[in-house]
Chain A
Amino acid sequence: MAKITYIHSTSKEYTVDVSNGLTVMEGAVQNDIPGIDADCGGSMACATCHVYVEEKWFTKLQEKIEGEDDMLDIAFKPNKFSRLSCQIIVSDELDGLRVKMPEQQG
């Protein structure tokens, strides 16, 4: 279990407990947190669960698999801390993770 904070583009913060094994995207969707669309349902076939991971957490995440950066090219305003939240799997180590959501997904 990890406490994850989702920061909306308006700066509003949502902190929820997310079970291990779920993705950061699922944590948002299951808790009705606005700002993550996840149109494709987590198959890495869209870029609508795009988040910016806070710098100190970015290096602690498992590395991107092939294809994630390609999808991020299609995302709205990607930067070097961009990730697809459907590809970040929650574990105890991620307790306290903070991710920021872009102004829009689609």
Chain B
Amino acid sequence: MINTDVLIIGAGPAGLFAVHQLGLIGLKAEVVDNLDKIGGQCIELYPDKPIYDIPALKECSGGELTAKLLEQIKPFKTNFHLNERVQEVSKENNKWKIVTSKKSVFLASGIIIAGGVGSFEPRKFSVKDVERFENKGVFYSVKDKTNFKNKKICIFGGGDSALDWAIELSKNAEVVLLHRRQEFRGTGHSVETAKKLEKEGKLIIKTPYEINSIEGKDEVSAITVKSENGKVEKIHTNCVLGFFGLIMKLGPIAEWGLNLDKKHIPVNTENFQTNKEGIFAIGDICTYPGKLKLILSGFHEGALAARACFKLARPNEKYRFEFTTTSKTLHERLGVKNK
């Protein structure tokens, strides 16, 4: 069990700046994110796309912004729990008990949900009965590539994951790579390598093709695929991999008793608290009259939620507002030497 002042759900820009604001006022935060890396939508959806509306930064990519925020919170030595999704939230004495998908348990005075539009999850196949075959021949990730040795594998998708796994698995297996359109969106290098392997007869590429059905008793035995002109053909295979990219799902957040407005969590604009005392929501996931889905709004929301967390985590202390320009305490927390 990890004791902390505040648990932050989501390691995107709003969550990262909340770490900073909490750290400044002397509170310790732990961060949980379902992705395998820090940065949220900024890093998953647009790491290289320039953003032009971060105050004081004329132009900044999602990747650069994440790196700058991480640099800024370095003094607070924050623990990040990646590849973990918060599953359960319950009240225990005066604190919140949080359990993740990896069974990590946290006890915190406050929770700040900075979860964007929910957690990123793989887009799945949309054919009938596909759920039945999940992990019984249908996969959305490769956990151990030796499981695929000497198999016949159908890989669907047009991005880097699909291409890279097709290239990698074709070394020790018979691989068919299928994509819904001619163009692959992966990096030039991966596309070239895949095309080269195709020429050498080491990889079969079929475009534009889509999955049409999955067949099998307990496990996948064959699939049918459909070309753009409607022609259906059968492929005997026991392994089907789908790499369509990640979509955002609200997930377990919907089960914590929070008020929801479609996929958003209503908050008050005084401290961004939800209908549950001690649970706050900031960034894209929160909603209130006038809400703007901008990164800068998430920063403001985090600053206010952090102050409200202080009252919960230090009920016997009085919060004092201080400026970073002048406060010795804040300089100590930031690890800067007084000039």
- A73 and B185 within 8 A (CB): yes
B250: min CB distance to chain A, Å? 8
Sampled A-B contacts (24; CB under 8 Å)? A39-B117, A39-B248, A39-B263, A40-B293, A45-B45, A46-B45, A46-B117, A46-B247, A46-B248, A69-B183, A70-B159, A70-B185, A73-B157, A73-B158, A73-B179, A73-B181, A73-B185, A74-B123, A74-B244, A74-B247, A76-B123, A76-B126, A106-B247, A106-B248
Residues of A within 8 A of B158 (CB): 70, 73
* B246: Cβ under 8 A from any A Cβ: yes
* A41: Cβ under 8 A from any B Cβ: yes
Q: Which 5 A-B residue pairs are closest in the complex by CB-CB distance?
A: A74-B245, A70-B185, A39-B117, A45-B45, A41-B293
- B246 and A74 within 8 A (CB): yes
- B180 and A73 within 8 A (CB): yes
Secondary structure at the B interface, as helix, strand, loop or mixed, is loop
Size class of the contact patch on chain B: 20 to 34
- Size of A's binding interface in residues, CB under 8 A: 18
Chain B residues within CB distance 8 Å of chain A: 41, 45-46, 117, 123, 126, 157-159, 179-181, 183, 185, 228, 244-249, 263, 293
Instruction: Provide the A87-106 mask, 1 if CB < 8 A to any CB of B, else 0.
Output: 00000000000000000001
* A7: Cβ under 8 A from any B Cβ: no
Secondary structure at the A interface, as helix, strand, loop or mixed, is loop
- A45 and B46 within 8 A (CB): yes
Residues of A within 8 A of B157 (CB): 73
Residues of A within 8 A of B181 (CB): 69, 73
Residues of A within 8 A of B183 (CB): 69
B61: min CB distance to chain A, Å? 14
Q: 10 extra interchain contacts, Cβ-Cβ under 8 A, other than A46-B248, A47-B247, A69-B185? A: A41-B293, A45-B41, A70-B159, A73-B159, A73-B179, A73-B185, A74-B244, A106-B247, A106-B248, A106-B249
